[in-house]
Structure 1
Amino acid sequence: MTTRVTANGIDIAYESFGPPTGRPLLLIMGLGAQLIHWDEEFCELLVEQGHHVVRFDNRDAGLSTHFHDAGVPGPGAPAPYLLDDMADDAAALMDALGWPAAHVAGASMGGMIAQTLAIRHPGRVLSMTSIMSTPGPDVAPPAEAAVSVLMAAPPPDRESVQAQAVRTWSVIGSPGYELDRERITTMAGLAYDRCFDPAGTSRQLAAIMASGDRTERLAGVAVPTLVLHGEADLLVPVAGGHATAAAVPGARLVTYPGMGHDLPRPVWSDIVTEITKLTSA
């Protein structure tokens, strides 16, 4: 069941899995993605390993507050908010949940938010898992093919959105694993039905670009850190994972051959095992 709370001056939609007695684990999604993109089965696997999992919609995504009045940031225009604000959203959500601190895992832009959270609110983060992410927008530039699909014009209707999702993930997904067209199509339809706001995605992208590089600040992160990355990622190449792990003292890096900018089902078990080793240490 989706719940909405007011946190950091906005409404944040979230869902929880598992008993409140489990180890608190906050999952942060990526650019333009919604809480449903953390697959329920994946969340339940984490619950089986003793976690109390919360997934949520970032600002400008899903059922959380959208900054419609800000429009689409033009070239040279200031971003309406930064990753700092999105990290503060996560900390405020933890307040609303009654969590003094939590284990945090973020994917792509979510990894950037997790890194920023660990920098800005170190006492709130028990451990950090940064997945297919990077310490800065210029550290691991995307391949041209990935940029092309990411910047494609927004489709006009639900069916077109689903078709575009298949095209996108056929480029930036995992070449080492079979493309699950049915799952991608279904998920794109569900996301469209919850909320379709391409302008919100543009504002999130502006936040990424305006927030700069975190490499120097990550040197001060003292929490146990896990970095997971696909070796075949075209959107955030694996150099981003290596740079993140190098920036955080003591970070552990795990890379996956054949994995692109997604979480293919066959690696779920290993990823859950790696996260569990970190959170139960």
Structure 2
Amino acid sequence: MALHKGSCVPGPAQPARRNGADAPDTTGPADRRKWKTTMNMLKANGIDLAYESFGDDDAEAILLISGLGTQMIRWTIPFCLDLAARGYRVIRFDNRDAGCSTHFADRPIPDFGALAAMLMAGQRPDVPYTLNDMAGDAIGLLDALSIDRAHVVGRSMGGMIAQIAASEHPGRVLSLTSIMSGSGNPSLPPAAPDVMAMMTTRAPDPFADEAGFLAHSLAFARRIAGSGYPFDEEVQRALLLEELRRAHDPGGFGRQIAAIAVTGDRRARLATITAPTLVVHGADDPLILPACGEDTASSIPGAEFMLVSGMGHDLPPALYRTMADAVERFARRGRQR
């Protein structure tokens, strides 16, 4: 295991910022110190995990899990602040093979043709890790922080990880919010062909061709965004540059895809989830289609499905309040269990 290109060094607390701009100050003077954040590192599940925490350490916790190949900063500071201002301790972290957490750079990127052939033949490929391991990271983070139970929120691949955490560790998950994710049901419709082609086309090396890398990444972000909310290219560009500053490891993306592939159909496990569950999906999502969200909700006893008009495979700032309201609504249900 190894680290990666980037400048992932914990430093002194900095004022909460969003993509290089000051986050809106919604706190009183006495509370303002709570909204300074420092990236911390800890050992969990045998690896190093980078995390940040917002709000009171003694408050009920909300754990935010990121998606495929993305870093914790995709859960933007304004969104985290909104939840923290409601009385929660909000924790975001880098998954393994992303951001400043441990990278498995000594493990080869799987051959996806061979991987698919083995899965079709009913064989189990040898991969660096599975989504089960990544769910173990999330629970291990709670252990390391001495948090008994948390409300778990995941987006895209993070939703899959959150689902497994809720099914395998029911006593640790107060409520589950699965956003723009799926169930692993192989009969569901795949991503739009052009979206899949864009996602699987290797981006230019940003250290050799930063402009080409940004053009490629921005085109993909624009394609998967919804039609109901403006696409802010400046914000997206700043986010991509911040991810590059923190770390860059295309191999991590490939290893995470392999983890999703070998974990497969999760419907039987979803049927065992007892936590109050909300499944949120964008009506315009071209990457993980709305039918995948519907299938997830129908597989979890008592789950509620929330289809958001105009939302794609993204979480635009205009939806932060709507999403925070939804997370809080199910957090209240979880607290009453």
TM-score calculated relative to the size of structure 1: 0.97
Query: Which residue of structure 2 aligns with residue 97 of structure 1?
Result: 145
State the alpha-carbon separation in 2 of the partners of residues 126 and 175 from structure 1: 33
Gaps of 5+ in 2: 1-37, 116-124
How far the C-alpha of 1:51 sits from its partner, in A, is 1.3
Q: CA deviation at 1:106?
A: 0.1
Provide the residue aligned with 1:84 in structure 2: 132
Amino acid at match of 1:110: G
CA distance in 1, matches of 2:193, 2:145: 41
Moved more, 254-263 or 150-159: 150-159
Instruction: Report the CA distance between 1:137 and its aligned residue.
Output: 6.0
- Give 1:1-281 correspondences, 5 Å limit: 1-74=38-111, 75-76=114-115, 78-136=126-184, 138=186, 139-157=188-206, 158-281=210-333
CA contact (8 A) 1:23 1:279 kept: no
Cα shift readout 1:82-126 (whole Å, capped 9, x = no counterpart): 000000011100001110111000000000000011111111111
Aligned length: 281
Question: Contact conserved, 1:161 with 1:189, CA < 8 A, in 2?
Answer: no
TM-score by length of 2: 0.81
Question: Percent same amino acid at aligned positions?
Answer: 44
1:122 alignment partner, SS class: coil
Superposition CA RMSD, Å: 1.1
CA distance in 2 between partners of 1:190 and 1:164 (Å): 16
For 2:185 and 2:160, the matched residues in 1 are separated by: 10
* Bigger CA radius of gyration: 2
* Secondary structure at 2:261 match in 1: helix
Deviates more, 1:64-73 or 1:170-179: 170-179
Deviates more, 1:198-207 or 1:76-85: 76-85
1:229 corresponds to which letter in structure 2? H
Moved more, 154-163 or 222-231: 154-163
List runs of 5+ in structure 1 lacking aligned partners.
Answer: none
Runs of 4+ in 1 over 6 A off after TM superposition: none
Deviation at 1:50, TM superposition (A): 1.6
2:185–2:267 CA contact under 8 A, matched in 1: no
Q: Which amino acid aligns with 2:103?
A: H
Tell me by how many angstroms 1:234 deviates. 0.4
